[in-house]
Structure formats: structure tokens, C-alpha cells
Amino acid sequence: MKKLRILQVQTYLRSERINPRAGGKSRIALMLTKYLLEAGHEIALYPWPERIWGKPVEFAALPSVPARVFPTMALPFSRHIAPDAAALWLARFRGRDPSPLFQDLCFLEALRLAIEKFQPDLLHCHQTESDIPILLPRAAKRLPSILTHHSGRSSRRLGGYDRIVFMSRTMQEEVCRRSGYPAEKSRVLYCPVSDPFLAGKIVPAKERTGLINVGNLKDAKGVDMLLEAYSRNPRLREHPLHLCGTGPDEAKYKELAVRNNLPIVFHGRITVPEIKAAVSKARWMVNPSRMEGFSVALLEALTCGTPVIGWAPQVEELEALWGRPVGFAFDARSQSVEELESLMINALQDPLFGDTSREELSGLARESFSMERYGGEMIRHYTDLLAGG
């Protein structure tokens, strides 16, 4: 297999290590970087939109095979200022959010230098909403580019990518329809979960207690609906609710829990092994988010044999994929607290999920969401794109 040189646009964690507490797209991008390095490919990072000056540094995703981190900002060469400024200024009149022109010139010059020094085969962007489609044509005459579309929302500049990898078929259909991006140029690749979720025994149903929610503590994730359901229904209050995460509305939720004497345990931000242990001991995961791309938390729960109440498009897609139930679909955009309450009461009666069912669910999830599968398929997308497929 040909070894590739890939320039990744992703978050640079200054700890210079894979951070097990990094969330969402950051964790997936870092897991992929580690996988590609282990497979022998050369990786460099351009961590837009972080403002980083200076010389390239090493990103020790693997101590023995480091990746280079290129600065994102450099003083523009005099010969580039006029043509670059004209191109960036024109982009402002095509619906682009305004930002300081000199800052954009520095981003562009740094990207140009990173490409000249690293000579990548392709660029892989993990930022759904970014300036890369504007900067890249000025920085390189012809460099194949691919976007991993992590968000449930769509960027206005998707046409600048040669290929888009979506996290679900639902997202692919919705975003291509809204944006006009050609569906035939896109692919679907389900995101991976961290290795700890792919091993270990499944906790028997009789040893499980309560419900769990994992994610940011904010109304956009539907946590307010969870607390309202618990406030309304005394039957729910017989079962503890574990909230794993932090967020902007955390203080509000804690005050509400104390005021209404709710059986809620606030775990704060915890590590991946701690999340796995907590999810494995819960009877159900309940993540009634108002907007998701393809929730990693739901996937992690399924690998633990824990059924889910959550993002309806994702639950329905997984059930169609596997031909079996994975929990209850809930869409907070159109469904009420009363409906959420009813689903949780039904779930706590475990009508569908005994020990055998939980084991089967875990086996399917662990096979489908491994890093080995994800990384191997991503490499095939790279080689297919470079071959003109």
C-alpha cells in the first residue's frame, strides 16, 4: 500500500497527546491521526483557526512517530499581498462572514508555506465550517481535498471540497439536499468509539440501575427536558439520573435539582474509562438532544449493551442498518416533555432488552464502530480520491 502524506486541518491540543477527554470531532480526528501514523503514513497538522506563529513543532500523538504541527499564521510575502487581498476581499461579497483582512492574509500565507514544506498528497479538513475552501485554491494550484462533515448543520462552502465524508446517511441526504453538493461525490463512514468501549463484559440487566446522560450540560442537548420530566413524574424519581459532563447551563440544572429534590448525580467531566463504567451500569442512556450530527455518546452506550433514547434520525438509521431495535427514537424538535417522560417509563420496564438482547446489541456496535474499521475505510477513501474515483 502506498504511504500517503496527509495534511490534517484539526484541533491542536497543546498537551501534545491524544486527550481522552477531548470531545466529538476533536477526539475522532486525533484518533485518526494516531491510526494513520501507526499505519506508516506521514501526517502534518494545520490547526486552523488557532492563531499559532513560529516554526513547526512536533505533535507527539505517538512518541516514536511524531506528526508535525505547522503554524497557522505567517507574515505574507510582499508579492502575495495584492492578489491575495483581492481574492479574500471578493470572498467577503459572496456571503462570507467578515474577519480582519490582515489575519486572513496571515492564515493564507501559513497554509501556503505548510503545503510547500510538507508537499502533501491531499488535505483532510475536520472543521465543517471553515475558511479552507477559500484559502486552499490560493495556497495550492491543485491539491485534492476531503472534508469530514461532523456537524448536523451544513457549511455554505461545501463546494470547495473534492469529497465529503458524512457521519450518517441521514446527514448525507439532508446536507446534500440543502447545499446542492453532488451526492455522488460524497460517502458515509460511521464514526469510531474509543478502544475501551470495544472490550469487556456486558453488565447483566439485574445489576444495572438508573438512567444516564453523557454530553454537554446545556438546553441544546435537551437536558432541560430531562430535568422537567423528572420534576413532573414521581415514578421517574425512583431511579437516579446520572449526568456526565459539564456545560454552560450546569449551575441552573444543579439549582433546579436541589430545589425539587431530584435524584440527580452530577459527575462532571470524567475520563473515557470512567464514562464506560458509568454507562455500563445504567439501564438506559437518555440523550434527548435538539440537534445532533451522529452522536458518539449513543454509539458508546450501544457498545456497552445499554439501549438508548435519543436523536431520532440516528436511532432509526441504526435500526434499519441492523434490522433490530436499539432503543426509542426521540426528536426534541417536535416531541414534548410528556412524550419523553412516557418513553423513559416504558424503557425502565425493559420490554425489549434482556441480557441476550444486550449482548447482541453490544456485538453489533463493537464490530461497526471500531477504529480499525474507520481508519481502514478512510484510507480507502483517500486512495480512491487520488485515483480520480
Q: Which CATH number goes with the domain that contains 330? A: 3.40.50.2000
- In which band, very low, low, confident or very high, does the pLDDT at 16 lie, cut at 50, 70 and 90? very low
Q: Is 50 exceeded by the pLDDT of residue 174?
A: yes
Among residues 349, 293, 302, 292, which one has the least CA distance to residue 327?
Answer: 302
Q: Is 80 exceeded by the pLDDT of residue 125?
A: yes
Contact residues for 378 (Cβ-Cβ < 8 A; gap 6+): 32, 165, 189
Same domain, 355 and 382: no
Residue 233's alpha-carbon distances to 124, 148, 226, 285, 340, in angstroms, are 48, 41, 11, 18, 11
- In which band, very low, low, confident or very high, does the pLDDT at 114 lie, cut at 50, 70 and 90? very high
Q: Is 200 in contact with 217 (CB distance < 8 Å)?
A: no
Average pLDDT over residues 131-146: 92
Enter the C-alpha cell of residue 30: 486525533
Same domain, 254 and 354: yes
Q: Is 60 exceeded by the pLDDT of residue 146?
A: yes
* pLDDT (tens digit per residue) in 43-75: 999 999 888 898 877 776 666 777 889 999 999
Structure pTM?
0.85
Same domain, 163 and 229: no
Can you give the length of the chain in residues?
389
- In which band, very low, low, confident or very high, does the pLDDT at 100 lie, cut at 50, 70 and 90? confident
Same domain, 41 and 83: yes
Same domain, 360 and 375: no
The CA distance from 150 to 293, in Å, is 6
Residues spanned by the domain of 68: 5-192+370-386
The CA distance from 13 to 157, in Å, is 26
pLDDT for position 24 = 62
pLDDT for position 209 = 94
Average pLDDT over residues 128-141: 90
Residue listed under C-alpha cell 491539491: 143
Same domain, 96 and 226: no
The CA distance from 104 to 380, in Å, is 33
Same domain, 288 and 224: yes
pLDDT for position 57 = 79
Same domain, 45 and 140: yes
Same domain, 165 and 231: no
Same domain, 28 and 172: yes
Return the number of other C-beta atoms located less than 10 Å from residue 383's C-beta: 15
Average pLDDT over residues 274-294: 93
Taking each helix axis from N to C end, the angle separating 132-139 and 78-92, rounded to the nearest 10 degrees, works out to 150
The CA distance from 379 to 223, in Å, is 37
The CA distance from 57 to 6, in Å, is 16
pLDDT, the chain, mean: 89
Same domain, 374 and 340: no
Among residues 82, 79, 139, 83, which one has the least CA distance to residue 107?
Answer: 139
Number of H helices, E strands in the chain: 13, 14
Same domain, 215 and 280: yes
Q: Is 43 in contact with 35 (CB distance < 8 Å)?
A: no
Number of folded domains in the chain? 2
